[in-house]
């Protein structure tokens, strides 16, 4: 090798200088980029914190978001725009355009209810105040001359729903949070298709997130048969594009505007107790006939209008039930309401109790105002019982429940673990005379983030059937003790408290 060849690949001073300069230039650009990202992140955090302070419904939530958005904007900003919003914009309630507003015709719905004697006439000041409160919350009237059937567990519930679909002559409104393409899902699909082929109008609405696994082939079969299908997408509209934390958790079936089904069941084989682990499955639905079925219809129409932009042509003439005089109100609640309607409804049920309040819920993660209300009820001598499943389908929720045991036991509230499989019902019984059956859980998500619906029913005979049902459920439970938390290991108690921190989004 010659001298020239041996030195050919040795970097020359100018080449070394160029490489060093390029490295410094790249390093400088990276520093500028980091500074820019830092400034943008904190600017977005500051802007988002202002929005959080102005719109978050609780002071504690506003403080928590403001601190985290300005301290850890890289994580907090995307988290806030997904999980932090509690107000759902763009959803417009149609109740005034259907049930309550004066129509162009002389005989509007309220007028027909009054003519038919289906409106409540309070006999004392207490009843009048309660009627006024409920009607202000629902923006719909409390009605009478309804009939109601308690549907215990999946077989009774879906047999009744399929029978109702089969007997429909005008239309079927069908809405569920979760719909699976399994044996039960196909049974209901076949019933809807058969009815559509008879010329009956069928409207099929599902939550896009809850039913994310529903295949296109399932929906295509419905559409091909003439069923009108729609997904309720909480991300619809530019202002909602990041809001995956909202859910339409309602389960509603309406037959011809005369009969309605509401309750805890979704459409899936697990709701018939066919899940490998969460079995037997314990759940409750209610079937109502009479004028309150139109109120369930209003709730469906609002959701359908949001999903499609259309309002279907339906029957709005109220009918008395063939038998029964149940006083009833269908109360839809959700994040589009001006007030926290679900919270106010639940607080009213607790605060109005004088003898007993029994609560059955699969998810118990309330905020402090509910704990205080329950404690006050117990301190004034009310029999307060809470029933939750000991077997959980969600680890965080299951751990959170333990954090309430000491607070509740201090005021002699009886907390029961349901032991016979998984319990998913959402039922409240007040003073042995007023029952609330619906889709709302006893947690922040149902109170503030989900679209829910609850049937409030007052009737001695119906309440007695609910009481008997819950008594049986309590027999299949064991009384919880604060010692289950207090005597746990330090890691267990710490995990419980950490899970409690996530109660606002559970």
**Which amino acids are annotated catalytic?**
249, 251, 256, 424, 426, 431
Give the span between the Cα atoms of 412 and 449, in whole angstroms.
Answer: 31
CA-CA-CA-CA dihedral for 457, 463, 466, 470, to nearest 10: 120
Q: How far apart are the first and last CA of the chain?
A: 75
Q: Is 450 helix (H, G, I), strand (E, B) or coil?
A: strand
Phi then psi for residue 382, to 5 deg, are -80, 140
Give the span between the Cα atoms of 207 and 322, in whole angstroms.
Answer: 33
Give the span between the Cα atoms of 195 and 163, in whole angstroms.
Answer: 11
Question: Contacts for 491-495 with beta carbons within 8 Å, 24 or more apart?
Answer: 495/399
Phi then psi for residue 329, to 5 deg, are -145, 130
C-alpha closest to that of 411 among 376, 446, 386, 436: 376
C-alpha closest to that of 436 among 264, 255, 254: 264
DSSP 55-115: H-SSHHHHHHHHHHHHHSHHHHHHHIIIII----TT----HIIIIIS--SSSS-HHHHHHH
Characterise 309 by phi-psi region: left (phi > 0), alpha (psi -120 to 50), beta (else). left
Within 13 Å and on the Cβ side, how many CA atoms surround 480?
Answer: 27
Token pair belonging to 425: 């019902």
Longest dimension (CA), the chain: 117
Tell me if the bond preceding 72 is cis, omega within 30° of 0: no
Locus of tokens 């399929």: 162
Phi then psi for residue 307, to 5 deg, are -75, -35
Token pair belonging to 336: 């589009």
**H helix runs in 315-459, sequence order:** 341-352, 368-379, 395-402, 405-409, 444
DSSP 216-278: HHHHHHHHHTT-EEEEE-TT-SGGGTT-TT-EE---EEEETTTEEEEES--BSGGGGT--SSS
Distances in Å between the Cα of 472 and the Cα atoms of 152, 357, 428, 459 are 12, 16, 15, 20
């Amino acid at each position: 090798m010659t001298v020239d060849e041996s030195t050919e690949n040795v970097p020359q001073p100018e080449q070394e200088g160029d490489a060093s300069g390029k490295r410094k230039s790249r390093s400088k650009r990276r520093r500028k980029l980091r500074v820019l990202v830092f400034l943008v992140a904190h600017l977005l955090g500051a802007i988002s914190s202002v929005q959080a302070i102005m719109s978050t419904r609780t002071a504690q939530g506003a403080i928590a978001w403001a601190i985290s958005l300005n301290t850890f904007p890289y994580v907090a900003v995307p988290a806030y725009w997904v999980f932090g919003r509690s107000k759902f914009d763009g959803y417009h309630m149609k109740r005034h355009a259907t049930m309550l507003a004066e129509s162009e015709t002389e005989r509007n719905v309220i007028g027909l209810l009054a003519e038919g004697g289906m409106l409540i006439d309070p006999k004392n000041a207490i009843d009048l105040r309660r009627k006024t409160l409920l009607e202000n919350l629902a923006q719909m009237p409390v009605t009478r001359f309804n009939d109601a059937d308690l549907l215990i567990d999946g077989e009774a519930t879906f047999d009744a729903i399929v029978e109702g679909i089969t007997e429909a002559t005008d239309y079927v409104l069908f809405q569920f949070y979760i719909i699976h393409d399994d044996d039960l899902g196909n049974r209901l699909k076949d019933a809807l298709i058969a009815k559509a082929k008879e010329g009956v109008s069928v409207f099929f609405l599902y939550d896009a997130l809850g039913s994310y696994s529903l295949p296109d082939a399932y929906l295509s079969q419905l559409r091909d048969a003439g069923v009108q299908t729609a997904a309720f997408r909480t991300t619809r509209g530019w202002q909602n594009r990041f809001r995956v934390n909202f859910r339409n958790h309602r389960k509603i079936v309406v037959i011809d505007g005369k009969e309605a089904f509401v309750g805890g069941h979704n459409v899936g084989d697990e709701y018939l107790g066919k899940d490998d682990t969460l079995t037997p499955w314990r759940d409750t639905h209610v079937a109502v006939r009479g004028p309150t079925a139109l109120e369930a219809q209003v709730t469906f129409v609002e959701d359908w209008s949001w999903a499609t932009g259309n309002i279907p042509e339906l029957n709005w003439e109220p009918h008395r039930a063939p038998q029964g005089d149940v006083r009833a109100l269908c109360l839809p609640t959700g994040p589009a309401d001006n007030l926290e309607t679900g919270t106010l409804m639940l607080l009213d049920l607790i605060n109005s109790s004088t003898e007993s309040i029994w609560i059955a819920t699969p998810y118990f993660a309330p905020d402090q105002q509910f704990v205080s209300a329950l404690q006050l009820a117990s301190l004034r001598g009310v029999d307060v019982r809470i029933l939750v499943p000991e077997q959980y389908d969600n680890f965080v929720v299951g751990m959170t429940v333990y954090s309430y045991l000491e607070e509740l036991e201090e005021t002699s509230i009886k907390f029961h673990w349901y032991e016979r499989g998984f319990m998913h019902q959402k039922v409240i019984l007040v003073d042995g005379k007023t029952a609330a059956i619906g889709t709302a859980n006893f947690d922040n998500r149902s109170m503030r983030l989900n679209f829910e619906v609850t049937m409030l029913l007052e009737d001695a005979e119906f309440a007695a059937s609910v009481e008997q049902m819950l008594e049986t459920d309590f027999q299949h439970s064991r009384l919880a003790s604060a010692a289950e938390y207090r005597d746990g290991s330090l890691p267990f108690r710490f995990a419980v408290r950490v899970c409690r921190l996530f109660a606002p989004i559970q």
